[in-house]
Amino acid sequence: MAAATVLARRRLVEPGTLRFGVAPHVLCIGVGMGIGSVAGSLIVLVIGAAACAALISQHRPGPPSGWFVKDAHAQRIAGITIPSGWRAGLLVMGLTAAGVLLWQLLDDSGSAIIWLVVGTFVAIAISRPVTKLERHTRLNHHASAAVVLAVFAVILVIVTLSGLDDGARATTTLTERLPDVVRDLEDTRFIGSFLRDRNASVWIDDQMTDLPERLDTVRPEEWLPTVGARLIDLFWIMVFATALLIDGPRLLRGAEQRVPARHRRQYARITGAIGTALAGYAAGSALVAGINATVVFSIAVALGVGMAPILATWAFLWNFVPQIGGFMGGLPLVLFAIVAGPLRGLFAALFYIVYQFIENHVIQPAVIGAAIDVAPWGTLVAALIGAAAAGVIGAVVLTPLVGVIRVVRRQLASDDFPGTTVKLQ
């Protein structure tokens, strides 16, 4: 019965059915969930299927009758044809209504846009090891993607399990020894008077004593919504990344086929340059973050600081954030090292600062600079604007997008760009 069902589906149903694909299906459901829960996902799924059917159809209808305005009822301004008279009023009202609807749609789908952008960036980052595995083995694209994703999942599980016990032990040590560490610091020459004048040890002792009571009084309904929202964001980002990693090459080939033949070379050139730049930036950022995490792990193990896997993972994730990522990534390491002993904290801070200097001035320009050439001030401005628009995720994403704009401008200005007329001197 099962074999007959499969045979009937392949011969009778699939030939006349739209092949929607994994990525469009997942993206429509995810965007719909971000806009309006289950009902929104169904609506966006239907709209997405209709759009895909229209794009791949060989019998697309042309513009309706009356779409073009006669020259007698239009005027050209800066090379753009604009209707005149009452037609201009209708055009203005239509554009205004469309703008309001688009703004409302963007406002409602803010979370879905973040899922899509970050998921695309993660898929591009993972695509390089997938491509290398596919090139050096006999595995196809789907199998290579499954192997790489399985390796990342195993690493994540190992880091999580190894950090649970150390995390609880190190947190207990932190709450018990931090007041004593602050008291020792009050006797130092440089900051001792500053801490004594403000009764720092007494304040820390009170905070640590009241911490269990504060945790007991915190109601779950106060923090569960925030934690749940972040877990949902992480879930959809990984789902989008997986879908794009699996189905991305097919979508790129299909999009190229929809481009008119006279513009196909330009499209292939620009998309190829963008893909190379983003893949290089993502792979370079992952490599630099991995080196940073290795340094943090080595310092934590050498100094006998607990939670070495968790501290390394924390440094790895924060290293993707421009400007402040290095500081935030090393702060827990220094803090736990100080609790283990002031001298250990001093060595941890010294070693990490030296490494950050080497990373910022040697490693990062050599690894990432060739992919996306963005000046330090441009990185700072992009990080500030991105953080103001979408928090930490905006700061992470906007920097490579600025680099992509530079890459596109460089391609359009190059003499060998398809369709460019070279001036003879």
- Of the candidates 127, 94, 99, 154, the one whose C-alpha atom is nearest the C-alpha of residue 23 is 127
What's the pLDDT at 355?
92
What's the pLDDT at 135?
85
- Cα 276 to Cα 116, 225, 289, distances in angstroms: 19, 39, 20
- Of the candidates 402, 342, 151, 123, the one whose C-alpha atom is nearest the C-alpha of residue 249 is 123
What's the pLDDT at 377?
67
What's the pLDDT at 354?
92
CB 119 within 8 A of CB 240: yes
As given in the structure block, the two tokens for residue 10 are 């392949």
- Average pLDDT per 10 consecutive residues for the chain, totaling 425 residues: 66 59 82 79 82 71 62 68 73 85 75 81 83 84 86 80 61 66 70 74 71 58 60 84 85 80 83 80 83 90 81 85 81 83 85 90 74 67 71 73 80 73 49
What's the pLDDT at 353?
92
């702060």: which residue's tokens? 331
- Of the candidates 8, 153, 183, 107, the one whose C-alpha atom is nearest the C-alpha of residue 389 is 107
Tell which phi-psi region holds residue 304, choosing left (phi > 0), alpha (psi between -120 and 50) or beta.
left
What's the pLDDT at 60?
63
State whether the Cα torsion 306-307-308-311 is positive or negative: negative
Structural domain boundaries of the chain?
Answer: 141-209+231-413
- Cα 69 to Cα 78, 87, 234, 324, distances in angstroms: 17, 9, 49, 55
Dist. CA 303–CA 330, nearest whole Å: 14
DSSP 128-156: HHHHHHHHHSS--HHHHHHHHHHHHHHHH
pTM here is 0.70
What's the pLDDT at 424?
47
What's the pLDDT at 370?
61
